[in-house]
Amino acid sequence: MHTTGNLVADTICRTAELGLTITDAADAGTLTIINAEPVDVADTCPDCAMPGVKRDHIRRRLVDLPVVGFPTRLNVRVPRFTCTNPTCSRKIFQTSLACADDGAKLTHRVTRWILQRLAIDRMSVAATAKALGIGWELVNTVAVTAARSMVYADPSHLAGVRVLGVDEHVWKHTRRPGEPSSMVTVLVDLTPLTDGAGPARLIDLRPGRSADVLKTWLGERDPDFRAGVQVVTMDGFTGYATAVDHSLPAARKVMDPFHVVHLAAEKLSGCRQRLQRETTGRRGQKDDPLYKHRRALLTRTDFLTDRQRQRLDRLWDTDDDYVALQVTWEFYQDLVSAYGQPDRARGKKLMGRVIGTLRKGLPTGLEELAQLGRTLWRRRHDILAYFDIGASNGPVEAINGRLEHLRGIALGFRNLDHYILRSLIHSGQLQDRINAL
């Protein structure tokens, strides 16, 4: 029977949901100590299910949720029993608690709280550990163990993936001789975003960036998963395209518009830099016309200011040495315009015209544009598929940005396994499963 004081304390600390009732409390400086005991006591032996005889009590010390901003410790008075079955190998047993596994240091709700702070509030492990008054290693171990169970032990984790996004990601920037590659392959489920059911979700990361990495990951999936993937979005890396052709021959590949435009922008910048060296014999300086207009050259014509337009017009009119740059710039603008068309059928037609024109052959002096044309022709089916499907790797790039933030709040990672599991907590859309723990 609760006293009034205990009832208020149990309500404030919500110990009823733990199956405990508070008997006493103390202020231990940086910690709040709560003494409690189980509400219901099971006196049956876990091995033979025979009732036991009460023998004595022990104290279990558990980490619980902070109370009014201070870390909390539960001192639970747990009864022990002697088994009455003479043939049972277990002589003494103690009551199991509903709020924590046997031998655990944390209550179940602390595990959920840790994951909520990491996944929803974007807190660092260090800040979470400080709030609980425990060590970094314990918090990290709890987080990665729970994430491994929710992701790799859950058969529904990969269910319903129809649109798969693939990209590379740099998980650390401190390369030393003999260190393994800092690249990982990121795999993202774009199906919820395509269906309008929710945001994209990170489903896995694998060390390395190659056709074999993606081929191996796809080969480890069951045939139903591979049969269900209809679209794969990617950048211009041919290794991923090769892996998809091998493992998902029925899926349509989509080369992401961002990477196509970025590739064209690189060729435009390369042409500008080449002409800069040919006309001045040096790299660009602030007063050189080509260097001064480098940003305007990469800006879509619809977004140019009147002043920028006038400067570019003067650039084309005043010097015949820049004809190659003007031609490359016009093709770049046509490519950007194709992606900007509200009518995708019209955009596809314009893009096809750009690719076809570059394929027909170009005069000398347009080396960068010729290189671009060869690449676009080789990947033309993947590029044009975007206008039919509409899926892109934009959400994958957004998740890459969120992982950069994760690496920042963690002040870097040295263990790739921890990084992968923490990334899944951070960007795997696991909130519902975390809240259900």
Same-domain check for residues 346 and 420: no
What string of pLDDT tens digits covers the 437 residues of the chain?
455 457 777 777 888 889 999 998 888 888 999 999 999 898 899 999 999 999 999 999 999 999 888 999 999 999 999 999 999 988 999 999 999 998 899 999 999 999 999 988 888 899 999 999 999 999 999 999 999 999 998 888 999 999 999 999 988 876 665 555 788 999 999 999 999 899 999 999 999 999 999 999 999 999 999 999 999 999 989 999 999 999 999 999 999 999 999 999 999 999 999 999 998 899 988 888 899 999 999 999 999 999 999 999 988 987 678 999 999 999 999 999 999 999 999 999 999 999 999 988 788 889 999 999 999 999 999 999 999 999 999 999 999 999 988 888 877 788 888 899 999 999 999 888 888 87
Does residue 418 belong to any structural domain of this protein? yes
Residue 392, C-beta contacts closer than 8 angstroms, at least 6 positions apart: 233, 254, 256, 257, 258, 386
pLDDT tens-digit map of 1-48: 455 457 777 777 888 889 999 998 888 888 999 999 999 898 899 999
CA–CA distance, 15 with 206 (Å, rounded to integer): 41
Same-domain check for residues 242 and 264: no
* Residue 393 burial (CB count, 10 A): 26
Same-domain check for residues 203 and 275: no
The b/e string for 140-179 (b: 16+ C-beta within 10 A; e otherwise) is: bebbbebbeebbeeeeebbeebebbbbbbbebbeeeeeee
* Adjacent-strand bridge partners of 183: 170
Same-domain check for residues 221 and 326: no
Q: Which of 75, 105, 135 is the last residue of a domain?
A: 105
Does residue 353 belong to any structural domain of this protein? yes
Residue 391, C-beta contacts closer than 8 angstroms, at least 6 positions apart: 163, 165, 190, 194, 231, 233, 254
Q: Which of 374, 389, 404 is the last residue of a domain?
A: 389
Does residue 345 belong to any structural domain of this protein? yes
Structure tokens of 414? 């040295």
* Residue 283 burial (CB count, 10 A): 10
Same-domain check for residues 343 and 241: no
Does residue 23 belong to any structural domain of this protein? yes
CATH number of 235's domain? 3.30.420
User: Total structural domains in the chain?
Assistant: 3
Structure tokens of 391? 């899926």
Same-domain check for residues 359 and 294: yes
Does residue 341 belong to any structural domain of this protein? yes
CA–CA distance, 141 with 137 (Å, rounded to integer): 6
Q: Which of 85, 105, 125 is the last residue of a domain?
A: 105
CA–CA distance, 186 with 246 (Å, rounded to integer): 19
Same-domain check for residues 261 and 384: yes
Residue 220, C-beta contacts closer than 8 angstroms, at least 6 positions apart: none
Which residue range forms the structural domain that includes residue 54? Answer: 4-105
Does residue 296 belong to any structural domain of this protein? yes
Greatest alpha-carbon pair distance for the chain in Å reads 105
Does residue 110 belong to any structural domain of this protein? no
User: Do 372 and 324 touch, CB atoms closer than 8 A?
Assistant: no
Same-domain check for residues 54 and 75: yes
Distances (CA, A) of 274 to 201, 324, 330, 379: 42, 10, 17, 26
CA–CA distance, 34 with 154 (Å, rounded to integer): 36
Same-domain check for residues 321 and 277: yes
Same-domain check for residues 95 and 14: yes
Same-domain check for residues 267 and 285: yes
CA–CA distance, 365 with 301 (Å, rounded to integer): 24
Does residue 127 belong to any structural domain of this protein? no
Same-domain check for residues 261 and 358: yes
Please tell me the predicted confidence (pLDDT) of residue 1.
43
CA–CA distance, 27 with 164 (Å, rounded to integer): 53
pLDDT tens-digit map of 101-139: 988 999 999 999 999 999 888 888 999 999 999 999 999
